[in-house]
Chains A and B, each alone.
Chain A
Amino acid sequence: MANICPYGHFTHVVVRGIPETFGKLAEDGGENGEISVELAKAQRQFGCLTGALRQKVGLQLIEIPPNPDLPESWRIEDVAIIQGDTALITRPFRQQRRSEVEAVRRVMSELNLKVVEMGSEEGGSGGATLEGSDILFTGREFFVGISSHTNHRGAEVLADTFRDFAVSTVPVCGGARLKNVCSMGGPDTIIISKSDGAKKTLRMMEQLTDHHYEVLTVPEDSAANCIYIRGPSKRDFLLHRPAEECPDSVSAFQKLQDYTLLPSACSEASKLGAALSSFCLLINRKHTCF
């Protein structure tokens, strides 16, 4: 399959800036009312992350300007799922977030990706919801965490969109998101947290897959979300949380041979339940992965 190749080959990354309304979601939902976040710090961290992606990893960075009306729009990972030449525009769980997709859709089209609309297929009545932070794409298959934000119908749409791949559903425990407890750490490596819920999820993934993955277990949930990119320079990069954010896990990353480790802080966003991967949509516009 032309579009089935080892995970990690990316050429572009799409991000969206952090608006002043960062963390103000509380006003709408009331859930995060108690959480205080530092906007400036968050923006600084965002800057560091994007800088690393562009300068260190060497990706083409496309930054969508922030929109103050969409306080969560920086979580761009949720609104599109991209594999190969196809971008599936998702239908986020929260009504307030659904307009985030518009800007992203435009960018996808500009990148000549085949844009698939979820809404159009499912219709509003389908009730399908899907968010990218519940999707783990391993290069060979998709795992969809059935969570509070992503349901079966949403997973079906995903499966229908990416027919070449197996799409498996796995439970996500503790109200978290799938990507909060695991992420890819290499073409065949899954980084996963040591928590019980994560273990449960991992077991299910192992049961469902036809492939064998290496598993790198890290003690902290926060460390389990990393960004792995095999950059244009053919080097392996791993963006992970710095030691101060996950003191016990950093040593685990040292096990990854010949990786360039790029500690990237994400403390503010993580207060809102986000993680490193939440900030970016990774795209491969080159078909040279064979």
Chain B
Amino acid sequence: MTTEAGSETEVKEKAEESAAPADQSEQATEEAQEVTNGEDTTAGGEKEEKKEEKDKEGKGIARFLPPWLKKQKSQSQTSPAKEDSPIQETVAKATEEEEGPAPEANGHAEQVDEKEQAKENEAESHSNASAETEPAKEEKVEETAEESAEETKQTAEEEGGEGEGGEEPKKEQGGEEGEDKGEEGQGHTSIFQSPLRLVRKAKMKLVVCRISLLDGSDFTCEVEKRSKGQLLFVKVCELLNLMEQDYFGLTYTNNHDQKCWLDHTKEIKRQIRSNNWQFAFSVKFYPPDPSILTEDITRYLLCLQLREDVASGRLPCSFVTHTLLGSYTLQAEFGDYEADQPKPLDYISQLTFAPNQNKEMEEKVLELHKSHRGMTPAQADVQFLESAKKLSMYGVDLHHAKDSEGVDIMLGVCANGLLVYKDKLRINRFAWPKILKISYKRNNFYIKIRPGETEQFESTVGFKLQNHRSAKRLWKVCVENHSFFRLNAPEPPAKARFLTLGSKFRYSGRTQAQTRVASSLIDRPAPCFERTSSKRVSRSLDGAPMISITHAGRDLGGENGREPHLELHSDSKASVPQTEAAAADNTHSDGKEPGKTTEVEIEETVVIQEVSVASKPGVVTVTDSPLAAPFAQQEVAEQEVKAEEEVKTPVEAKAAKQESVSSGSESEEEAEYHPNVSVSLSHTQIPEEREEEEKEEEQDKKEEENEESLDAPSAPAGLGQSTEAANTEGEEEEVEKKNEEEEEGERETEESTEDSMVTPEETPNGLDLAEEDTDGSVPPAAEEEEEEEEPKLNGEASVVEAEPLPQVICCSEPPVVQTEMVTISDTFAAQKTEIATKEVPIVHTETKTITYEAAQLDSNGDGEPGVLMTAQTITSESLCTTTTTHITKTLKGGLSETRIEKRIVITGDCDIDHDEALAQAIKEAKEQHPDMSVTRVVVHKETELEEEEEEE
């Protein structure tokens, strides 16, 4: 086996190499489509394998190394990256015959595979997946190729899919895409030409995009039809010679006359959903302090945007302000006032300063213009911005909505948070730090508010938007604004991987903090640019605008450190919603499955941290678990303490599979976003074990739930606490419950019960856990937070619309439940039987679960579930060991029981002495809690198949 693997690896690399060139040739335009790449690569690789097994690795293997390959490396620390991919291939081959079904089916199967394997953390969007599948169909040339391609595809999809993750790879490739690559590639191409490639070539189409620029001119360019937003945006930025790009974006008008931001990470075609390739370059994030901008050109563009905002009335100003701003505009565009200028009012009246411009205003503008004598255009711009930024509506993106009582209001999204206006009056304001969660479901938009000092409960405020598109649009804007303005630094690279998991909804650019750093690094002579207002004037006259801002733009990209942009991209991604993303994915996936059967609404959950967490944060805060909080509030003296310690050796996050599923749902009727949540990301996680983790977590949750639900002395309650049997029962019950729920969910997509609410929440948690840490530290924390939040929510009735939220959750639940159920049952079985289980679906990973059970000192048999008094999570993480402690205090009839659950995740490169590690862990646990007894030890051992193979 070892040998085989080795050869495969080689081949693979070679394949990649060849693939890159192929790509190049295919894409006349310089754009990197990961998907395409991936497919090609795989296809090429296969071919190569067959034909010339012995080909050497090209010079720049590293360069052409597919991003996904790299990613895998980083993701699974346990397994050498190289071997990973070969294995995959092998698997693919093996499965070939089985997968006889149509390409579509294949695609589906693959998704499933992914899930099970949980190898990849990234989530792909459903739409993407489906889209990708199409090409495969068409290219039926070789079955083998196709299949392998599919696999690769998946990976590629993940990367390219929604989040920044896609971006990263892109960028990596992007650099190479240049001409160099092309040339190199050519040679290779000729050698390794694959049928696939040919087909592709024939299909490639160029589309003409028309972008209206801020100076009123239009820019026309061609892009490949499947280009992503990023490509177009970069083109525009190059044209404008703009380096501080992150404040800007491209908008398009959708079929419903709404202006939407073009997502850089998605294909343009899929976003605009029409043949109208018309865009507008605009300011997306208004810097609260424009003086932080480094370059004049950036300020100039911001000025152009603001002039239009003011003139159109989007940015309301008083008369005085109109005149002042107008005078700065004159100064910037025409220089000093010259008395002898012929009929100054003529040109003035061709400029629009205000919605209701009149002679009085123009005269006043001229008067002020005189006072600006000597001011350079750049200075005038600065003054303009200094005035404009003080306007109360500066940078506020308004959305029509109705409050819970049906009253028309406006919701304004800005750098500081969310503002609520009614008839121009500010009636409420939710600063980002006050917002715990942002979500939407259909046309409802919800924000969950952190309780104030004097308040006990969180509140949820709901708003109605015109339709679900509007709600989603608003939600996206919120997510992006929060990410941009509130998130700080890029996360460490390890975390970055997680980023890739994210769903489409996350902000994919740099945060303001990052862009500021990047700006400070700009080292180029100030680009000269032409102020074009005069042209605008002429334009208004003759209607034939020209592009005037063109300069050395081309140079920008390569030399001046454009790269940081890309890198940052990925970073920012990472920083943002790692855990959340996973959670979202999970939700998605869950939703998806049910969706097939019935129409189930999908809920997306994105949790974002406000502050970047240290790379190796000991403390993990998770938002998602609903159960714990309530208990925590009830404090009872504990008399008896029972300790249950679980030591698990390598535990992995299982989010991946779910993610894949989740990605699928484009319908996104709902989504959630959790700002402010600080999540520590432990990246030790191995994809494969996610399931197990989930199971465990679920178990925990279930236990808790059981306890909760069973508060009253109901039969099954007691069991769950410490005995495995009990657990099992509880879980089973849970499962049943879930099933029921699922069914319910299917029937009534929209209806949700409290239970259902809980469940959905749990699911996200589980994901979070998995992703965040192998340690499982996440879960408890998540539970705590969630619990707190959730219960409050329910109780919160006080706030506007507490009920709708639950509903949302409900919907998402059913799907989630399904997935979890399966997982759980497996886990259970594994634990019970104490047999190492090799899960069929998981190709490359082996999971062993061993349970040691000690006679329980306390009679768990009490059977009374008791009350969970407190739940506490302590997480500490070292490089390779992560320990999560979950303390559950339960009050049973007068007696209180404390259960401590420790999850220790040890991750390492194959050489871990598991027994020793386990012994050590148990020893430590005993030392730490001398008065407690170890009742159960569960060991999950995850080994990469490759390793095993080698060992064998």
Contact = CB atoms under 8 A, between A and B. Distances in A.
Interface of A: 1-4, 84-86, 114, 141, 144, 152, 155-156, 159-169, 203, 207-210
Contacts of A210: 416, 429
A208 B418 CA distance: 10
Contacts of B452: 203
B391 A169 contact: no
Contact of B429 (A152, A155, A164, A207): A207
Nearest to A161: B318
Interface string B121-165: 000000000000000000000000000000000000000000000
Contact of B320 (A84, A156, A203): A84
Contacts of A3: 318, 320-321
Q: In terms of DSSP, what is the predominant structure of the interface of chain A?
A: mixed
Contacts of A168: 425-427, 429
B390 A156 contact: no
A160 B390 contact: no
A141 B428 CA distance: 14
A163 B317 contact: yes
A167 B318 contact: no
B424 A159 contact: yes
B423 A2 contact: no
Given A2-B387, A203-B452, A208-B429, A160 B321 contact: no
Given A4-B390, A164-B390, A169 B426 contact: yes
A160 B423 CA distance: 9
A48 to B, nearest CB: 35
B319 A167 contact: no
A155 B425 contact: yes
A144 B321 contact: no
B426 A1 contact: no
A152 B390 CA distance: 24
Contact of A209 (B318, B319, B387, B429): B429
Interface string B363-390: 0000000000000000000000001001
B864 to A, nearest CB: 44
A1 B316 contact: no
B317 A167 contact: no
B456 interface: no
A167 B393 CA distance: 11
B909 to A, nearest CB: 51
A166 B387 CA distance: 15
B905 interface: no
B800 to A, nearest CB: 15
Contacts of B275: none
B317 A164 contact: yes
A79 to B, nearest CB: 21
B392 interface: yes
Nearest to A159: B424
A189 B392 CA distance: 20
Nearest to A163: B316
A1 B392 CA distance: 11
B423 A164 contact: no
Nearest to A84: B320
B423 A152 contact: yes
A169 B320 contact: no
B318 A156 contact: no
A208 B390 CA distance: 16
B934 interface: no
> Which residue of B316, B317, B319, B324 has the most chain A CB atoms within 10 A of its CB atom?
B319
Contact of A1 (B319, B387, B422): B387
> Which residue of A159, A164, A167, A168 has the most chain B CB atoms within 10 A of its CB atom?
A164
A203 B426 CA distance: 15
Nearest to A287: B320
Contacts of B416: 210
25 contacts: A1-B324, A2-B387, A3-B318, A3-B321, A86-B318, A86-B319, A155-B425, A156-B423, A156-B424, A159-B423, A159-B425, A160-B424, A164-B317, A164-B318, A164-B320, A164-B321, A164-B392, A166-B392, A166-B426, A167-B426, A207-B429, A208-B427, A208-B428, A210-B416, A210-B429
Contacts of B318: 3, 84, 86, 161-164
B425 A165 contact: no
A266 to B, nearest CB: 31
Given A169-B426, A208-B428, A141 B321 contact: no
B375 to A, nearest CB: 15
Interface in B301-356: 316-321, 324
Contacts of A159: 423-425
B426 A2 contact: no
Contacts of A208: 426-429
Contact of A207 (B321, B390, B428): B428
Interface string B783-819: 0000000000000000000000000000000000000
Nearest to B388: A1
B516 to A, nearest CB: 20
B306 to A, nearest CB: 13
Given A141-B392, A166-B392, A208-B429, A2 B320 contact: yes
A204 to B, nearest CB: 9
Contacts of A156: 423-425
Contacts of A167: 392, 424-426
B320 A165 contact: no
Contacts of B324: 1-2
A184 B426 CA distance: 20
Interface in B417-476: 422-429, 452
B425 A85 contact: no
Given A86-B320, A156-B424, 14 more contacts: A1-B320, A1-B387, A2-B321, A2-B324, A86-B318, A156-B425, A159-B423, A161-B318, A162-B318, A164-B316, A164-B317, A164-B391, A207-B428, A210-B429
A203 B317 CA distance: 28
A166 B319 CA distance: 16
A175 to B, nearest CB: 21
A161 B425 CA distance: 12
A161 B316 CA distance: 10
B423 A165 contact: no
A259 B223 CA distance: 66
